[in-house]
Chain A
Amino acid sequence: MNITLELNGKSVEVDVPARTTLADCIRHHLMQTGTHVGCEHGVCGACTVIVNGEAVRSCLMLAVQAEGSKVTTVEGLTPPEGLSPLQKCFREHHALQCGFCTPGFLTTTHALLTREPNATEERIRHVLSGNLCRCTGYIPIIEAVCAARSAYGGQAAAVKATK
């Protein structure tokens, strides 16, 4: 199937079998390997990308279903030099260790904070409950996301102390 879509701001065209998931299309046909595949059955969230402004599990979407859509992956969230404010917050708060789940957290968080820059800590936790991490224990991730709110126009109120 011939598919045209916009990936990270650039128009791309691919020809893939109908059964190709958006995740595999992005990784192996469009050669953007920042998006990771952790389970292929829609539980872990590592494959999360942003489609038309909404976070989706790219392993639960056929590539053909993204025809004509605007897709953003972690590569699209990265500035030409250095790190974005969100990425910087993750680094400052040590919100990643092995890094495998991290792109999925970044895309989910970006989608959330773009729409809800004042999301509460509880809301953030609840939204991120769809992304599994095995290394960090989550607390540093929540702290990083709360701190990143100000970069999206929200208020970076301090996370209730768990230190």
Chain B
Amino acid sequence: MKLPNFEYVAPSTPAEVVKVLAENRGGAKIIAGGQSLLPTMAFRLAQPSILVDVRKLQGLDTIVIDSAGVLLGARTRWCDIESNAQLAKAHPLLVEAIRHVAHYQVRNRGTVGGSLAHADPASEMPCIAATCEAELRVLGPSGERRIKAADFFQGPLTTALAEDELILDVRLPVWPAARRWAFGEFARRPGDFALAGIAVFYDVDGEQRARNAHIGVAGACYYSRRLPETERALNGQRVDSEIARAVAAVAEQEADPTGDFHASAEYRKALVATLLERALVAAASRSA
């Protein structure tokens, strides 16, 4: 499973990266950590003619926490998120979800930008981005633009990113301390792709009723997205085990997983329900 032939460049600036992508329309592929790209090339499922390595780009690997929320540079690695002490408070849902990504060695190389661009519906980062209404900043030949997560993920392994665009960073909105949240995932072994995963958060009003519910799916969806009907069912409710079960039943209907030989669509839908039910109970018991 040796890699196919390719040309290799490692530009020093984002503008240079974009230039190479534009000049080789369709034939060039960005390589960051390579943890998703290289396996597909080892199986010769992808055979880009040029690899454009972003390892020399300065400044795209920082984490900034401020009043606008959390800004993750595209080259931020999973281990960087794990080791950032402030993040656990600033965005506990992100940190908890990222704990489930792959394995120790992969976490030292895999990046936020790479994961978003790859857009595997089973991955945690796209799920968090979709759930939290993240906004990506990308650079193309005609300059920068911002893409909302809901517009970014369009299908399995398919995004709104053009062939000549580079992700610079992603912003997650500010996270109130009193927020209720939970993340749950079901995988065959730790680090495996989720057969189903749920990210949920909601705020509570003065009477402990849920509002502003956001529920996102990993693994049991056509692409990374929220479940708006399920969110509507949750909003206005005081969460207890009965409500959790009822809301989970809505999610089971709303989820649109693709079945395969690992697990049928029906099973994945049932997992969504189980995970959401358990997540809501956990979220409700999480006091501020």
Contact = CB atoms under 8 A, between A and B. Distances in A.
- Whether A and B touch (Cβ < 8 Å) is answered with yes
Interface of A: 1, 17-19, 21, 24, 40-42, 45, 48, 51, 54-57, 59-62, 64-65, 108, 112, 126-130
B2 A54 contact: no
Q: Which of B1, B5, B104, B190 has the most CB of A within 10 A?
A: B104
B255 interface: no
B3 A19 contact: yes
Q: Sorted from nearest, which 9 A-B pairs have the closest CB atoms?
A: A130-B103, A18-B8, A54-B108, A19-B3, A40-B1, A41-B39, A127-B104, A57-B105, A60-B38
B4 A19 contact: yes
Contacts of B55: 65
A122 to B, nearest CB: 11
Contacts of A57: 35, 105-106, 109
Nearest to A60: B38
Interface string B179-190: 000000000011
A56 B109 CA distance: 7
Contacts of A56: 105, 108-109
Find the residue from B10, B38, B51 having the highest chain A CB count within 10 A. B38
Contact of A42 (B3, B4, B106): B106
Contact of A60 (B6, B7, B34): B34
Contacts of A59: 38, 42
A126 B43 contact: no
Contacts of A60: 33-35, 38-39, 106, 109
B105 A55 contact: yes
14 contacts: A17-B5, A18-B8, A41-B39, A41-B42, A42-B38, A45-B105, A60-B35, A60-B38, A62-B38, A62-B51, A65-B53, A108-B104, A129-B191, A130-B104
B28 to A, nearest CB: 14
Contacts of A19: 2-6
Given A54-B79, A60-B34, A64-B8, A130 B42 contact: no
B102 interface: yes
A21 B106 contact: no
B34 A130 contact: no
Interface of B: 1-8, 10, 31, 33-35, 38-39, 42-43, 51, 53, 55, 79, 102-106, 108-109, 189-191
A129 B188 CA distance: 12
Contacts of A17: 5
A130 B1 contact: no
A58 to B, nearest CB: 9
Contacts of A130: 102-106, 191
Contacts of A51: 108
A56 B38 CA distance: 13
Nearest to B99: A126
Contacts of A42: 35, 38-39, 106
A1 B8 CA distance: 9
Contact of A62 (B7, B8, B104): B8
Nearest to B103: A130
B104 A112 contact: yes
A84 to B, nearest CB: 20
A40 B42 CA distance: 7
Among A18, A48, A60, find the residue whose CB has the most chain B CB atoms closer than 10 A: A60
Nearest to A127: B104
B6 A18 contact: yes
A126 B79 contact: no
Contacts of B6: 18-19
B43 A61 contact: no
A10 B5 CA distance: 29
